[in-house]
Every structure is written in C-alpha cells, then in structure tokens.
Structure 1
Amino acid sequence: MDKPAQIALLIDADNATAARIDVILGELSRLGETNVRRAYGNWTKSGLKAWQEVLHENAIRPVQQFDLSKGKNASDIALAVDAVHILHTQRPDAFALVSSDADFTPLVMHLREHGAHVYGFGDAKTPAPFQSACTRFLVLDRLSSASGQADAGPTASDEPAPAAKRTTRARKATAAPTTVAKAPGTAATRSARKTAEDAVPAAPPPRATRAQLRGDRKLVALLRRAVEGAADDSGWARVGTVGNHISNQSSFDPRNYGYAKLSKLLEATDLFDIRDVGGPGMAVRDRRTSTNGTSTPNP
C-alpha cells in the first residue's frame, strides 16, 4: 500500500480565521496525512482567542512568538524559519500555508524550488503573487463546510431584509465598547474586529455567472490553453487531462469561482463544445474550432 503524502500545516494565526479550520483539515485529508500542525502567533493577545479554542481539539501545536517591536509581526519570520527547517529535515511532500499575507511569496517559491507542493488557504483578497506562487490556492469562503454543505448565508437570489431588520443586524454586527469605537486605529479595535470575524464564518460569495467567467480574460486564456494542449487531432480534450494541464501551470481551483468541479465551470463558460457529460470520458472542444479544424470568430 502506498504511503500517503506527508503534509506540514503551518498557520499564520495573526492573519487567518479559525472558523474554517475544519474545512482546511478536511481538504488536506483528501491530499494526504497532515502530520505536522503548527499555528504561529502571540497567544497573549485576546484577538487570537478563537484560535486558542480550536488548537487542542485539532491537534495543532501553538508556537508562541512575542511582538518584539511595536507594529511588527514576528510570527511571520518564525513560521518561515520553521518551514525551511522542516523542508530540509523532515522533508514532507507538501506544505499547507494558511495566510492571506503576500510576504510569504518568497517562502512559497523556495519550498516549490525544492520539490514540495504548497497549498495556500486564504481569503479572496489575498494578493495575486502569493496565490500564483502556490501549487494550488483555495479561497476559504468558497469551500464547503465539513458537512459537505456551503456555510449558511445570503445568496444572490435572497430577498433583501426589511429595513428594520437590516438596521438591527447592523447594530449587532458593529456593537463594541465605547472606548474601542473612539479609537478605530488601536490594537483593541483590530482585536475586537478579528474576534468577531473568527466567531462567525463569512457567507460564501455567489457562484460566478457566465458573463463574469467570460469577462475574466486570464481565466479564459488559461482554460483555452489547457484545452488546446490536451486536445487530440480532432480538437477534443478529456476534462481530466485538461485539469492536469492547468495544475501544472497555475494555482487555479474551480471552487474559487463557486463550482465544485472543473467540468461544471467549463460548462458554465459556454465557450466549449461538450460531449459525454457526466461520464468518465467527458471531453470538451474549443467552440471556435470547427469539426474540420478551421477557426471561427470568438463568441
């Protein structure tokens, strides 16, 4: 029996939400065995309370790092140093970095240069350099919860709440001690805000529409290049092979666009002819290419 891939999970607790840890571990369980689990932060801060509540039940070792200089986050350096040490001593097959901080981009590149896969987990606003550097980057709010269902939350089709209810919700969401509200730039405010974010998982954004998908030039170019590279002489490419082409050149994951599978996203773009839908031999072909191999105008 083949040994499962060994994964080192390193969490930037100062720059990630604890509410999605079950989703992260669930995703990693499909990729291999997460035998190294560490979370970095200054655990004396009240803003990390949400993380403290999930560390032990998920066998995550907290790594204490005091803020040695005001306004500086020393946890990032500690995480990076440990990652390089783990790389050259334990030699895991992959790393999982939980953060939305682009400062980790050089670290990701170093790990990949030494043969390790890097799976990034962060929010949708994570800078593109960090996302692109990863083997695969997953937007946490796009992933399903541990139950396999998306977190409860409003969708594009939901009716707007009555004005009175919206006002009440807004008051509850923004309620904070008077002393905190008067100093929006203080550490207390940031701590209170982070605690609130960790306590309630964000609702997943609605699935990208056909217009949004086709308007994303980078995505369209990536899909078309992958289909072209995987196509046979007649222009048809198996979806599985298309996925392999994409994973070899990009950190793309269809769930970041709200689609569980690549096949569903390809269908949604309406840019490709599709055959054997839902079957193991499902294949796609660029709609610009006719059956005789000549090109037709862009849709």
Structure 2
Amino acid sequence: MHDYSFRGYLVEKNNNLAVLIDADNAQPGIVDGLLAEIAKYGVANVKRIYGDWTGPQLKGWKETLLQHSIQPVQQFGYTKGKNATDSALIIDAMDLLYTGNFTGFCLISSDSDFTRLASRLRESGLTVFGFGEKKTPLPFVSACDKFIYTEVLRESEEEGPGTTKSSSKELKSDTKLVNSLRKAVESSSDETRWAPLAAVGSNMVKQFPDFDSRNYGYRKLGDLVFATGLFDIEERPSRDESSKVIYIHDKRKK
C-alpha cells in the first residue's frame, strides 16, 4: 500500500488559536486527540473550558484539566433550562476577537447555539475550526471553515482511525463522495487534467467543512482516493525537487 500523505487545508503552524470548550457538550475522553489535532493547525495560546464546576457532572473533565493546562471557567446555571455556559463562552470569544491577537478559533461543542458565533468570527476574517460529535446540527458544521468529528479523535496511533474502514465497493456507491471528489479534481486540475492532491483536499473542505478521510476509516486523503479505484495516482518531484507531490486524475477523462 502506498503512503499517500496529505498536508493541506488551513494548516499554518504560526496560527495563534483560541480553544474554547463547552464542557456540557464535549467528552473528556477526546482531549488527547483534540489537542493533537489542534496542534496541526497552529498554537493554542488560550485553552478555556466552560461549565458549572460545582456539580458532579463534570468530574471527568476536572481530572484532566491540570494535565493539559486548560483553564476552567465557572458559570453557574442561574435558571433551570437555560444554558448559561453558552453565553459565557460567546462573550469570552468576542472579547478575545477584539484583542486582535488570534488568527483562528477552535470551538468544541455539538451544540447548534454556536452557529452564529462561528459565522461572526469568520466575518472578521478569522478561521474557525469546529469539533463535535456526528450528531452536531448541520448549521453549526457549515458555519465553520473546517469541522472535525470527535469520534475520529478517540483512537490511539496504534489502533488506527476510530471509524470502520469503508470498502472500495462502499466508497464507489457513495454518490455524494464520488461526485464531490470528481468535481474537486476537475476544478483543481491543470490542462492535462491532473490535480495536486493537496488542492483537491482544500477544495473538498471548501465544499463540505466536515469532509475528512478519517470519517471513512482512512488516515490520509490519498489512501481514501486510492481505495475508490476511480482515480489514477502519480507521485512527482516538487519544483525544487526537495519533496514529492501527489497528483490524481479521473480515470474517466482522457
């Protein structure tokens, strides 16, 4: 099996990121994978988590905060049925936005209440990375530049992706995936109809913020593309010949 790596969309190591976690709508079991994932996109200069820490419901989070240097923010639930945590997180996000010290935000929640916040941050020119479970409502997913489902963050390096690997037959029968890949290749290709893999990945995320090869059980985009059996794949030297660049081509095209 070839090792087709993908380092592409939205990755800037000098990004200054604010990480804001809704403790009521996120599980402590994701924290290791979460912070490792965030490190791919930049430096987490601020790490805060919001909830009512006076009760027993956040015990799991309490045990991991110190280890990962995440600052807990106390928010009492003054009124039953009202989510004061959301309001506190949103207010802090706006305060951090106005400092001008950040290039992006990581919002960790499966709650659609943060849809408008994500949109507002993007309107100010910042990149928004969303993290939530697969039950996260589509409006919040779509409001982010990139959305990662936390189910894929629970595995260790040895165990591989947390989602069962889709077979070639299953991938080919996924009409949405196949059509989207073909459109992404078409829009990213040169006059020879070959497209750089990184450009294809970037195009896919622009169409669907929650696109991630790991959702199909593949660590890398190249592995997913190879598994479909629908594309030719070619490795070429970069312009300065210091590295390799992966190109793909729709087999239907001459």
In the superposition, the TM-score normalised over structure 1's length comes to: 0.73
Matched, 1:260 2:219: yes
* C-alpha distance 243-87 of structure 1, shift in aligned 2 (>3 A): same
- Deviation of 1:115 (Å): 1.1
Q: CA offsets per residue over residues 215-261 of structure 1, 9 Å max, x none?
A: 43332232111100111222111212212322344312212222111
Q: CA offsets per residue over residues 269-291 of structure 1, 9 Å max, x none?
A: 222222339982322112222x2
2:182 alignment counterpart: 224
Matched, 1:149 2:162: no
The equivalences for 1:282-293 within 5 A come to 282-289=246-253, 291=254
* C-alpha distance 133-237 of structure 1, shift in aligned 2 (>3 A): same
Q: CA offsets per residue over residues 33-66 of structure 1, 9 Å max, x none?
A: 1011110001122110000111111111111111
- Counterpart of 2:22, as a letter, is D
1:39 alignment counterpart: 49
Matched, 1:245 2:254: no
- Deviation of 1:132 (Å): 2.1
The equivalences for 1:49-68 within 5 A come to 49-68=59-78
The aligned length equals 237
2:124 and 2:208 map into 1 onto residues whose CA distance is 18
Runs of at least 5 residues in structure 2 that lack an aligned partner in the other structure: 1-11, 238-242
Larger Rg: 1
1:89 and 1:216 map into 2 onto residues whose CA distance is 44
- Deviation of 1:140 (Å): 1.7
Whether contact under 8 Å (2:231, 2:251) holds in the other structure is yes
RMSD of aligned residue pairs (Cα, Å): 2.3
1:128 and 1:39 map into 2 onto residues whose CA distance is 23
Matched, 1:107 2:117: yes
1:211 and 1:122 map into 2 onto residues whose CA distance is 28
Matched, 1:207 2:165: yes
1:250 and 1:8 map into 2 onto residues whose CA distance is 23
SS in 1 for 2:80: coil
Matched, 1:127 2:85: no
Q: After the TM superposition, which of the residue ranges 58-67 and 127-136 deviates more from structure 2?
A: 127-136
1:116 alignment counterpart: 126
1:67 and 1:33 map into 2 onto residues whose CA distance is 31
Q: After the TM superposition, which of the residue ranges 42-51 and 126-135 deviates more from structure 2?
A: 126-135
Q: CA offsets per residue over residues 69-123 of structure 1, 9 Å max, x none?
A: 1122110111111111111114311111111111211111111111111111111
Whether contact under 8 Å (2:163, 2:215) holds in the other structure is no
Whether contact under 8 Å (2:112, 2:137) holds in the other structure is yes
SS in 1 for 2:66: helix
Q: For CA contacts below 8 A with separation 6 or more, give which structure has more relative contact order.
A: 2
SS in 1 for 2:204: helix
SS in 1 for 2:46: strand
- Report which of the two has the higher share of strand: 2
* C-alpha distance 98-21 of structure 1, shift in aligned 2 (>3 A): same
1:122 and 1:9 map into 2 onto residues whose CA distance is 13
Whether contact under 8 Å (1:138, 1:255) holds in the other structure is no
1:281 alignment counterpart: 245
* C-alpha distance 217-106 of structure 1, shift in aligned 2 (>3 A): farther
Matched, 1:12 2:25: no
2:101 to 77, 91, 95: 91
Runs of at least 5 residues in structure 1 that lack an aligned partner in the other structure: 152-202, 292-299
- Deviation of 1:3 (Å): 7.7
Whether contact under 8 Å (1:138, 1:256) holds in the other structure is no
